[in-house]
């Protein structure tokens, strides 16, 4: 019991110095780059770098904020892109957090397997996915409409590849 108290005090002191370092890095970035609002700063386990999150963008800096860079950090031993993994963790959305009441719900069979998809009604790949999911049994599909594309005309007449003086239209199927 007598060893726990000093260990706890040492851990608390270390935690406050790490937080102080992260806070000073945040202040340093915001001071050197006017108008930047840093969302979070985390000390990484590699090369004494700090990860800086601004919006959905990751930056890295040293402790004194003398050097700031944006790019991927790759672990040479495992060949893993550490920046990409971290970016995925930061932007991940939990299934429970999806507004399922705003989605189109389809239940097939018992519906024990649950899937949420984001679909554009004019996207041929989305339509292909819809057809593939229709062949599945015991599935609940929540479809969130995400219209990016516009309905295309069947064919467009464009003078593509022709010399301007020839005025020979070429038909392109969309």
One domain for residues 31 and 103: no
Q: Is 55 left (phi over 0), alpha (psi -120 to 50) or beta?
A: left
Of residues 37, 93, 25, 34, the one with CA closest to residue 61: 25
Q: What are phi and psi of 33, to 5 degrees?
A: -120, 95
> Is the separation of the CB atoms in 116 and 104 below 8 Å?
no
Range of the domain at 131: 93-174
- Same structural domain, 138 and 60: no
Residue 22 shares a structural domain with residue 64: yes
- Which of 40, 60, 91 delimits the end of a domain? 91
Give yes or no: residues 112 and 143 share one domain: yes
Residue 100 sits in the same domain as residue 78: no
What are the tens digits of pLDDT across the range 1-44?
A: 455 544 444 444 444 444 458 899 999 999 999 888 999 999 99
Please tell me the predicted confidence (pLDDT) of residue 143: 95
The CATH number covering residue 25 comes to 3.10.450.70
Q: Where are the alpha helices (DSSP H) in the chain?
A: 4-32, 82-91, 124-134
Q: Using an 8 Å Cβ cutoff, are 39 and 24 in contact?
A: no
* Residue ranges, the chain, pLDDT below 50: 1, 5-19, 155-160, 162-163, 167-174
Predicted pLDDT of residue 56: 86
Mark whether 106 and 152 lie in a shared domain. Answer: yes
Q: What predicted TM-score, i.e. pTM, was given to this entire model?
A: 0.55
CA–CA distance from 67 to each of 59, 72, 81, 90 (Å)? 10, 15, 21, 23
Last residue of a domain, one of 67, 91, 115: 91
Of the three residues 66, 91, 116, the one that is the final residue of a domain is: 91
State how many domains the chain has.
2
Verify that 139 and 166 share a domain, yes or no: yes
């Amino acid at each position: 019991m007598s060893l726990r108290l000093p260990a706890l005090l040492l851990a608390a002191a270390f935690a406050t110095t790490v937080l102080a370092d992260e806070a000073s890095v945040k202040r340093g970035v915001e001071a050197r780059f006017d108008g930047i609002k840093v969302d979070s700063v985390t000390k990484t386990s590699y090369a004494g770098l700090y990860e800086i999150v601004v919006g959905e963008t990751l930056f890295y800096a040293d402790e004194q904020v003398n050097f700031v860079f944006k790019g991927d950090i790759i672990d040479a031993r495992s060949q893993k892109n550490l920046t990409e993994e971290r970016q995925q963790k930061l932007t991940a959305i939990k299934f429970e957090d999806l507004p399922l009441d705003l989605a189109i719900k389809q239940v097939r069979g018992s519906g024990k397997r649950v899937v949420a998809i984001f679909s554009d009604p004019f996207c041929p790949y989305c339509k292909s996915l819809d057809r593939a999911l229709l062949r599945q049994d015991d599935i609940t599909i929540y479809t969130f409409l995400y219209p990016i594309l516009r309905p295309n005309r069947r064919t467009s007449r464009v003078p593509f590849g022709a010399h301007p003086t020839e005025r020979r239209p070429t038909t392109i199927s969309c």
